[in-house]
Amino acid sequence: MANDIKYQINVQIADNTVTKDDPNDKIFVIVSLGTADKERIIAEMMDMNPGVEPEMMRLVLDLEKRAVKRLLLNGMRVNNGLFEAVPQCRGLVRGTAWDPEANEIYVNFTQGKELREAIADVVVNVIGEKGAAMYLSSSLDAATGLGLFNATAGANLTLTGKNIKVVGDDPSVGITLTDSEGTETRIKAGAIGLNQPSKLIFLVPASLAAGDYTLTITTQFGGNSNSLLKTPRALTQTVHVAAAEEEDGGSPGGV
């Protein structure tokens, strides 16, 4: 099951603020997709194992947190594969007694073996210079509530990013989904419900079979609504599409 999970991180090129005197010194910075809270984690768990009720997922998460806290705060080292946590002391000793004003307990976290192995499988996409690039930062599937560039055939997909507004007269301008065999499906203009520089919403064709697709957004939008780029630019992103699910006699989603 774990081998079926794909990891993908977008990075941008930025100035190295540590060496301000060298304008050519650059570093990579990760494009954040936001923060995943407990409900988002439960949604991901439900996607991986839809046979378990959300209430049970929530119970398991709460029990794990309570167990980890009890183990750590009774002096045990906890290693769950993803991280290793160790309780430690901070502060100087004053006399022979514990002084809450000078001493404290904190927990130090380090990467675990499973997380290190997973990091080795991450696909890193360099999407240009920070502040000037066209990029996607997150997504939301209307049918499932999932992000991480999951989509459902016949449902709306919301994309957020920068400079992704689809405009221009060049024939290449538009949104396409290409399957593993190279068959390209173009999203019709009427299926785009929202077209803004930082947000796109479009209807994924209900006819698409389940699988991984290459999403391509091509535009002449350059960040200024009063002028267009002479040469279109494009970005690509792998999107996992789930088959349309019939619900009450119809397919989900819709603009």
CA-CA-CA-CA torsion sign (91, 97, 101, 105): positive
- Global pTM? 0.54
Say how many CA atoms lie within 13 Å of 126 toward its Cβ.
7
- Residue 46 near residue 52 (C-beta atoms within 8 A): yes
| pLDDT score for 46 | 86
CB 43 within 8 A of CB 75: no
The phi, psi pair for 231, rounded to 5°, reads -110, 125
What tens-digit pLDDT sequence spans the chain (255 residues)? 445 678 888 888 877 766 666 767 788 888 777 678 888 888 888 888 888 898 999 999 999 999 999 999 999 999 999 999 999 999 999 889 999 999 999 999 999 999 999 999 998 988 777 665 678 878 899 988 888 889 999 999 999 888 899 999 899 999 999 998 889 999 999 999 999 988 999 999 999 999 999 999 999 987 766 678 888 988 888 899 988 865 444 444 444
Q: Are 178 and 213 within 8 A, CB to CB?
A: yes
